A and B are shown apart, each in its own frame.
Chain A
Amino acid sequence: MSASSTTILSLPDQSTATVPKKNYITAEHGLLSWLLTGDHKRIAMLYLISITFFFFIGGAFAGLIRLELLTPQPDLVASDTYNKFFTMHGVIMVFLFLVPSVPATIGNFLIPIMVGARDLAFPKINLLSWYLYVVGGTLVLATMVLGGVDTGWTFTTPLSTHYLNTHVITTALAVFVAGFSSIFTGLNFIVTIHRMRCPGMTWFRLPLFVWAHYAASILMVLGTPVLAIAIVLVALERLIGIGVFDPTKGGDPLLFQHLFWFYSHPAVYIMILPGMGVISEVISTFSRKRVFGYTAVAFSSVAIALFGFFVWAHHMFIMGVSNYSALVFSLLTMLVAVPSAIKIFNWSFTLQKGSITFETPMLYAFGFMGLFTIGGLTGVFLGSLGMDIHLTETYFIVAHFHFVMVGGMLMAFLSGVHFWWPKMTGRMYPEAISKLAAVVTFIGFNLTFLPQFILGYLGMPRRYHSYPPEFQVLNVLSTAGATVLGVGYMLPILYLAWSLKYGAVAGNNPWQATGLEWQIQSPPLTENFTEIPIMDHEAYDYEWLEHKTAHEVTTVG
């Protein structure tokens, strides 16, 4: 039954499709039925709306930053306002967008369906997680209204504890609360994946999307509490001067760095792993082939999660950690490149001799593969001790993590949103304009961030709001790119909203994909399945799908 050597084509069933009258959206009505829901799909939608809201706020700050950097002089805003801008941009994008982006929306929606369950293990905790997210988000907005915070998203001590007179505690509380939202999501996923799989759904029949989320969930559950305690200590240090991070009392600011990055480095894998899960699904579907090296890709997710915990000190190479630990952490950092490369190579081999089609999700996935590879490889530059001393705290590092986070993760998020949009809403997005949006995003992204690699290499430091005039050309390019990128992000929200009413009816399986989620109606019923399915084939088995549709009788009515 191996489908890896052949490719199979079949046509979508959209011509006869209707939107089913009974589905999770129409099951109940009224605002309260959403706000008090236990349905993972509805909670996913709540999350989707709220993270989109925060994405645009965070994006607005990015726009202001780029606008200020258009000219070498500090002419748009004062320097402390600029500090507040990039801090709010970082806090919002990291804690309120990237961390929950794919897991809390697409993952929330799909994981129960993919493992063949009616819901996540703990629906109420799932809802609680959304409320915690909203509280965290509200606190961030409150910080913004009250006058902002300018620590940078890293809360670096002793800057954050002793030298700033801004709303550090409010922001710390926001991050603390949002962190628990993420812990509960991860906990729910792990329990669901362990205990709620349908009969026949063995670990190695799980879609790679589920594997990736499993790995990310482990990071959420083990890493986030350490961030929580680090943040609590910062707040206490400010409130009552406890001295743990205060050198004058014998405390060590570096301890904060250790605790903070023990979470915040794995956090970048919390952000990227679910995106990698999306890419596995999309690449397989649009090349009509089983993912090459399924087991390797599955285990590479776990390996990234595992290695991810042992590389945190590479954020501190210039902060006075011992040479020996720097050496070890440098080596471990480079080891992370191995499982990441396993994924990229396996996706490339999946494409090889596949019947590739270029739908929008696939365009975004290609964008991901290219940009993530650049972002990942520049990470190896930064992991090398000598290079890091030259490049760290410059725009090189800004470009590096934006390639991974924006070029990688955001592309994956958009890829996933487009890919599962028909499943979530029952309607197709408009194909032509969305392809345009994907291309615009890709061009805008490269225009924004490629110049920053050069700027950083030439020595422009990050977090400054003025720069020598010779850097202006590259900065203007970058700002122009950010404008194009902004258009690329505005387009989807417009046409996706449009498609809710006017989009073509999608049918159950518009992509002819093999996942369990595509075998049920779109949008799904509240309990996903009328009867719990029995899984009797491998993931990404296109022969099985061919066989299934060949004997299927379609009833219209």
Chain B
Amino acid sequence: MDSAIATTQEHEAGEHEHVFVPQHRHHFETEEQQREAGSFGMWLFLLTEIMFFGGMFFAYLLYRNWYYDAFVAASNQLNVKLGAANTAILITSGFFMALGVWAAEVRKKKLLVIYLILTTIFGFAFLGIKYFEYKEKYELHHIPGASFDVSQFENPAAYGLKEQPLAPDMAQKTQIFFFLYFAMTGMHALHMIIGLGLLFWLLARAQRGEFTAGYVAPIENFGLYWHFVDIVWIFLFPLLYLINRHPLK
């Protein structure tokens, strides 16, 4: 090659009749490159999300070590049954999302739409249950702030709880647990709400058949996001609900 800035023209001369999908962006050389770039970008975005949640996980870790007793007592007030139900619901939602990606890849439009609808329904079910959990906390004055009430932790017997009473200063620390509980599950719920919004948009596009003609990137990338939201919950559930069930004596 004489001139070093040669061009790809001579190499790809034979492939010029290749027809791109309509969604092909002109600045990508190939569809393969576009798809790889998209999914790589999504993975990187999820990495930033991990760091974002990581700040709160770090705070949780720190305060759990400092205020162990308060965290145990406060954690025992969370509703494990509802939490477990939500875990199952979220995994089911993720399962349908995975099926949705498969349906898009094998170009089955109807199946894709059905799976996306199921993903959405289970997503809403999760948020619904979360609403009842938050409501319960509200009624018990377990929402941090001015109306936060620690009497339940100072005198559990009066509430019919078989818990060790906490000293007043330690009982105050349950507020930090509940703040972290609301911050972490709230941030998770916010991600769910954003995801559900995106799901409606994807549904509309899926019905037009946009993802069942060889262009599956948005479904695939949204799937990554949805599974990420699942996985955050998979860490939140044991850390917030389960880890203190059998405290070390």
Do A and B actually bind?
yes
Q: A-side interface residues toward B, CB under 8 Å?
A: 117-119, 121-123, 125, 183, 187-188, 190-192, 194-196, 198-199, 221-226, 228-230, 233, 236, 240-244, 249-252, 255, 258-259, 516, 519, 527, 530-537, 544, 548, 551
Could you name 7 residue pairs across A and B whose Cβ atoms are closer than 8 Å?
A183-B48, A222-B51, A226-B54, A242-B144, A243-B144, A259-B58, A534-B7
Are B176 and A249 interface neighbours, CB within 8 A? yes
Does B243 count as interface, using CB distance less than 8 angstroms? no
Closest beta carbon of chain B to A227's beta carbon, Å: 9
Does B67 count as interface, using CB distance less than 8 angstroms? yes
A244 to B55, CA, bound (A): 12
With A121-B41, A183-B48, A195-B36 known to touch, is A533 a contact of B56 (CB < 8 Å)? Answer: no
With A117-B27, A225-B51, A527-B26 known to touch, is A242 a contact of B183 (CB < 8 Å)? Answer: yes
Are B145 and A187 interface neighbours, CB within 8 A? no
Interface string of B180-201 (1 = CB under 8 A from A): 1001000000000000000000
With A117-B27, A118-B27, A229-B56 known to touch, is A244 a contact of B51 (CB < 8 Å)? Answer: no
Are B36 and A534 interface neighbours, CB within 8 A? no
A194 to B45, CA, bound (A): 15
A250 to B169, CA, bound (A): 9
Are B33 and A196 interface neighbours, CB within 8 A? yes
Please classify the interface of chain B as helix (H, G, I), strand (E, B), loop, or mixed, using the class held by over half of its residues: helix
Are A221 and B145 interface neighbours, CB within 8 A? no
Are B176 and A250 interface neighbours, CB within 8 A? yes
Does B138 count as interface, using CB distance less than 8 angstroms? no
Are B37 and A249 interface neighbours, CB within 8 A? no
Are A195 and B33 interface neighbours, CB within 8 A? yes
- Which of A118, A123, A225, A242 sits near B49, CB closer than 8 Å? A225
Are B49 and A243 interface neighbours, CB within 8 A? no
Does B19 count as interface, using CB distance less than 8 angstroms? no
A118 to B29, CA, bound (A): 9
Give A217's nearest chain B residue, CB to CB.
B44
Are A221 and B48 interface neighbours, CB within 8 A? yes
With A259-B55, A551-B2 known to touch, is A244 a contact of B8 (CB < 8 Å)? Answer: no
Does B228 count as interface, using CB distance less than 8 angstroms? no
- CB-based closest 3 A-B pairs: A531-B7, A229-B55, A225-B52
A544 to B29, CA, bound (A): 26
Give A220's nearest chain B residue, CB to CB.
B48
Are B3 and A250 interface neighbours, CB within 8 A? no
Give B7's nearest chain A residue, CB to CB.
A531
A225 to B59, CA, bound (A): 15
Which B residues touch A183, using CB under 8 A? 48
Are A196 and B37 interface neighbours, CB within 8 A? yes
Considering only residues 21-55 of chain B, those with a C-beta below 8 Å from chain A are 25-29, 33, 36-37, 40-41, 44-45, 47-49, 51-55
Are A534 and B49 interface neighbours, CB within 8 A? no
Are A123 and B27 interface neighbours, CB within 8 A? yes
Does B158 count as interface, using CB distance less than 8 angstroms? no
Interface string of B1-29 (1 = CB under 8 A from A): 11111111101000000000000011111
Does B173 count as interface, using CB distance less than 8 angstroms? yes
Are A243 and B175 interface neighbours, CB within 8 A? yes
Give A548's nearest chain B residue, CB to CB.
B4
Are B59 and A191 interface neighbours, CB within 8 A? no
A517 to B146, CA, bound (A): 60
Are B5 and A533 interface neighbours, CB within 8 A? yes
With A226-B54, A259-B58 known to touch, is A243 a contact of B179 (CB < 8 Å)? Answer: yes
Which A residues touch B244, using CB under 8 A? none
Are A534 and B41 interface neighbours, CB within 8 A? no
Are A250 and B8 interface neighbours, CB within 8 A? no
- Which of B48, B63, B144, B172 sits near A222, CB closer than 8 Å? B48
Give A527's nearest chain B residue, CB to CB.
B27
Give B35's nearest chain A residue, CB to CB.
A195
Which B residues touch A548, using CB under 8 A? 3-5
Give A516's nearest chain B residue, CB to CB.
B5
Are A118 and B26 interface neighbours, CB within 8 A? yes
Given contacts A198-B8, A241-B144, 10 further A-B contacts (CB under 8 A): A122-B41, A187-B48, A191-B37, A191-B40, A191-B41, A195-B37, A226-B55, A242-B145, A250-B172, A548-B3
Which A residues touch B144, using CB under 8 A? 240-243
A388 to B109, CA, bound (A): 65
A225 to B45, CA, bound (A): 10
Give A529's nearest chain B residue, CB to CB.
B7
Does B62 count as interface, using CB distance less than 8 angstroms? yes
With A187-B48, A221-B47 known to touch, is A249 a contact of B8 (CB < 8 Å)? Answer: no
A196 to B89, CA, bound (A): 39
A191 to B1, CA, bound (A): 30
Considering only residues 147-191 of chain B, those with a C-beta below 8 Å from chain A are 169, 172-173, 175-176, 179-180, 183
Which A residues touch B51, using CB under 8 A? 222-223, 225-226
Are A191 and B44 interface neighbours, CB within 8 A? yes
Are B176 and A251 interface neighbours, CB within 8 A? yes
A101 to B173, CA, bound (A): 43
A255 to B145, CA, bound (A): 20
Are B8 and A536 interface neighbours, CB within 8 A? no
Are A250 and B183 interface neighbours, CB within 8 A? no
Closest beta carbon of chain A to B75's beta carbon, Å: 16
Give A528's nearest chain B residue, CB to CB.
B27
Closest beta carbon of chain B to A235's beta carbon, Å: 12
Closest beta carbon of chain A to B94's beta carbon, Å: 23
Are A195 and B5 interface neighbours, CB within 8 A? no
Are A244 and B176 interface neighbours, CB within 8 A? yes
- Which of A187, A226, A230, A259 sits near B44, CB closer than 8 Å? A187
Are B48 and A194 interface neighbours, CB within 8 A? no
Which B residues touch A117, using CB under 8 A? 27
Are A533 and B40 interface neighbours, CB within 8 A? no
Are A250 and B67 interface neighbours, CB within 8 A? yes
Closest beta carbon of chain A to B87's beta carbon, Å: 24
With A187-B48, A196-B33, A240-B145 known to touch, is A255 a contact of B8 (CB < 8 Å)? Answer: no
A122 to B42, CA, bound (A): 11
Are B179 and A244 interface neighbours, CB within 8 A? yes
Which B residues touch A228, using CB under 8 A? 52
Closest beta carbon of chain A to B186's beta carbon, Å: 10
Which A residues touch B28, using CB under 8 A? 196
Are A532 and B172 interface neighbours, CB within 8 A? no
Closest beta carbon of chain B to A213's beta carbon, Å: 15
Are A534 and B8 interface neighbours, CB within 8 A? yes
A221 to B2, CA, bound (A): 41
Which A residues touch B146, using CB under 8 A? 241
Are A187 and B5 interface neighbours, CB within 8 A? no
- Which of B25, B52, B66 sits near A229, CB closer than 8 Å? B52
Which B residues touch A233, using CB under 8 A? 55, 59, 183
Closest beta carbon of chain B to A312's beta carbon, Å: 12
